[in-house]
Structure 1
Amino acid sequence: MSNRSRILLLLGLLILASLVSLLVGQHDISPATIVRSMGRSLADLGVDMSSGDDVVLWKIRLPRILAAVVVGAALSVAGTAYQGMFRNPLVSPDILGVSAGAGLGAVLAIYLDFSVRVTQLFAFSGGLLAVTLVCAVAWCARTRSLILALVLSGVAVGSLFASGISLIKILSDPHSQLSSITFWLLGGLNTIGADDVLGALPWITLALAPLVLLRWRMNLLSFEDDEARAMGVDVTRTRIAFIVAATLMTSAVVAISGVIGWVGLVVPHMARFLTGPDFRILLPVSMLSGALFLVVTDTAARTVAPVEIPLGILTAFIGVPFFLVLLVRGGDRR
């Protein structure tokens, strides 16, 4: 199967999964209702908000599916970039402390009783702060390997921020704040509206631009640094550009969805099985695969049990066994 056929197949599966997700849930909607409601919208007749089906469709299901597509695609692209930069399929966007930083920012905002918008801003700022601190420490470290310094700094800073989260959880009100903090850290799309997704899209687009424009250089980063430099690539600047872009993208989606782990680890590796390591084709395949993965997972999260399961729990159930299999098979090999 050609790469173009793979992309078209993934796009078709994504559309099919989105249509199924529109139909099923605690409140099922018939296909006829969807066609009628969308027909009215396309004909500019407006949406009948007195109808429960239309309210569920336009205010809940469609924004949630859009959020799943955007968050899944962004986390997968960020994971693909990190794995390419570090030449290791076992790394993910969490490696530089992005999730821990975003989590600390959001938890602090919840503890201070700030609004949802301010909580998202705190989460976004926390993710960027964590990676800035990691890069500063790695830059000052006296080591020959920048990659090793970044990984070790990420582990240390991530642990520090995680300790801060634990401290705030202990200090928070167990009857109100603690439950909100816990559910945010577990991740989910149940509170995301269309405005949240539209607010994150400019940051995601800004971060995606250098990954698309410089995607051919990612292939050169798969070589040893000396070989890449011999081919005319400024390894340090290119790697920093990719790190900033991937971090910005991760922070933007974590700010609206909470911490949804393992997507940036599992999906890029599955995409690599389909296409190989060529970043030029791996990037769009990872993007579509991540969107498809999160749409399917989110649909399962709200349909398999009477109570909605936090999305981060389901992705962990899938990601942890996958990670262990990779580790046993020797994940340090491309």
Structure 2
Amino acid sequence: MPVSAPDAVAAVRATGEGKAARRPLPRLLVLALATLVVALAALALGRYVVPPNEMLRLLAGQVLPVQQTWTPTEETVVLDVRLPRVLLSLLVGGALALGGAALQGVFRNPLVSPDVIGVASGASFGGVLALLLGLGSFFVVGGAFGFGLLALAIVMTIGRLGGGNPILMIILGGTVTGAFFTALVSFGKYVADPESELPSIVFWLLGSLATATYAKVVTAALPVLLGAAVVLALRWRLNVLSLGDDDAVALGVPPRLTRGLPLCAVALMTAGAVAVAGLVGWVGLVVPHLARLWTGSDHRVQLPAAFLIGGAYLTVIDTLSRTVTAAEMPLGILTAVIGAPFFVVLLAKSRNRMWSP
């Protein structure tokens, strides 16, 4: 039966309940400001502390005629070392968090993360293969990106097999594909030289932004921003999709296409993130729940909030990784050590508010 326009609007609004859904702009502005503050703090903090006032003058001096009061060392630390690293952490964290939030909406499951579609495992194998062959960082990034897209193609092909539930087939395909590429990664570590190749492979797989450069920022920005644009453009349709396939069809939203486009976009973002940072877990699982607590379940607000929170979250983690110990700690360790207990606390305190079926 056709659905009238008022009923359609009411149905979509029903997916984003509470005051948070009615006041989206102020909350997003608060998140944007908080993310900016975190990024500026990360530029100043580290084992070599740059005074905040000098850091701000240095940044302003790049576009304004500001008298130079900072030292050449401070300029090198901020512009050449920390700025590309902070930009990369914002992109990678935002991509993983946005991907997790989109997938949780597509599958209507709060335990889904970008790892479920197998792209991260495929990208990991691409990077490991390049390291095994002794290729440069350009090929590591390119291999990770290429095999991430190959994993997506395999998952989508499996998803079209048979006539069963497409969501279930995609999840099963992602599980199988992820297991296959994980086995190849394990084989790569097994045959790697334990003195020259294995340490670099293990460190890359644990996730790190230690080798951040402006070239890597550009490499990550292209797939991340393209994928984010697609996901954010479909955020209203994800609200409709959460009502169920029958209601989505009645409202003029094709379920299969609406699921397929975000999946491709998330795979693109995940491949770009893994290519430049390695495997960074838990961001795509924990951050969407934080965004949901802050904004409600309306994807029109939740998705951009997840991108902002994810970028700020990974920037904080990366700042800790390079300051808490003399030797830099891989990101994957810190995100798991901090994310796992934090997620348990979220489940215990807010299990009734984090997810509304």
Q: Unaligned stretches of 5+ in structure 2?
A: 1-19
- 1:114 is the counterpart of 2:135: yes
Identity among equivalent pairs (%): 41
Task: Work out which of the residue numbers 219, 234, 248 in structure 1 matches 2:254.
Answer: 234
Q: Match of 1:244?
A: 264
1:171 corresponds to which of 183, 186, 191: 191
TM superposition shift of 1:7: 1.3
Counterparts of residues 81-230 of structure 1 (less than 5 Å): 81-143=102-164, 145-230=165-250
Aligned residue in 1 for 2:340: 320
Which residue of 289, 298, 308 corresponds with 1:288? Answer: 308
Q: Deviations over 1:88-147 (max 9, x none)?
A: 11100000111100000000000001110111010001111112111111211442x111
| Partner residue, 2:83 | 62
Aligned counterpart in structure 2 of residue 74 of structure 1, from 91, 95, 113 = 95
One-letter amino acid matched to 1:5: P
- Matched residues in 1 for 2:69 and 2:187: separation? 47
1:320 deviates by: 2.5
Q: Do the aligned residues in 1 keep the contact of 2:239 with 2:298 (CA within 8 Å)?
A: yes
Q: Distance in 2 between matches of 1:30 and 1:49?
A: 9
**Amino acid aligned to 2:240:** L
Task: State the distance in 1 between where 2:235 and 2:355 align.
Answer: 22
Aligned length: 333
Separation (CA, whole Å) in 2 of partners of 1:48 and 1:63: 22
**C-alpha separation in 2, matches of 1:175 and 1:48:** 46
Is the Cα contact below 8 Å between 1:196 and 1:256 reproduced in 2? yes
Paired letter, 1:253: A
- 2:330 equivalent to 1:310: yes
Moved more, 2-11 or 43-52: 43-52
In structure 2, C-alpha distance between the alignment counterparts of 1:98 and 1:49, rounded to whole Å? 44
- Aligned pairs for 1:261-280 within 5 A: 261-280=281-300
Once residues 51 and 347 of structure 2 are traced to their aligned partners in structure 1, the CA distance between those partners, rounded to angstroms, is 44
Please, which of 25, 28, 33 is the counterpart of residue 7 of structure 1?
28
The superposition leaves residues 55-106 of structure 1 with CA deviations (integer Å, 9 ceiling, x where unpaired) of 1111111111111111111111111111100001110000011110000000
Deviation for aligned residue 1:33: 3.0
What is the deviation of 1:49?
Answer: 11
- 8 Å CA contact 1:37, 1:47 repeated in 2: yes
Query: What SS class does the counterpart of residue 42 from structure 1 fall into?
Result: coil
The match for 1:41 among 62, 85, 99 is 62
Q: CA deviation at 1:232?
A: 1.3
1:90 alignment partner, SS class = coil
Q: CA deviation at 1:47?
A: 9.3
In structure 2, how many angstroms separate the alpha carbons of the residues matched to 1:212 and 1:332? 20
* Distance verdict in 2 for CA 1:46–1:185, change over 3 Å: farther
Question: How far did 1:302 drift?
Answer: 1.1
Aligned partners of 1:41 and 1:47 also within 8 Å: no
Structure 1: how far apart are the matches of 2:70 and 2:36?
25
AA aligned opposite 2:32:
L
Going from structure 1 to structure 2, the CA distance change for 1:323 and 1:15 (only over 3 Å counts) comes to: closer
How high is the TM-score relative to the length of structure 1? 0.93
RMSD: 2.3
Question: Which blocks of at least 5 consecutive residues in structure 1 are unaligned?
Answer: none
Residue in 2 that maps onto 1:30: 51
Q: Give distance in 2, aligned partners of 1:278 and 1:332.
A: 11
Distance 2:355 2:56 in 1: 49
> 1:193-237, CA deviations, whole angstroms, 9 ceiling, x for partnerless residues?
111111222222221222222221000111221221122111111
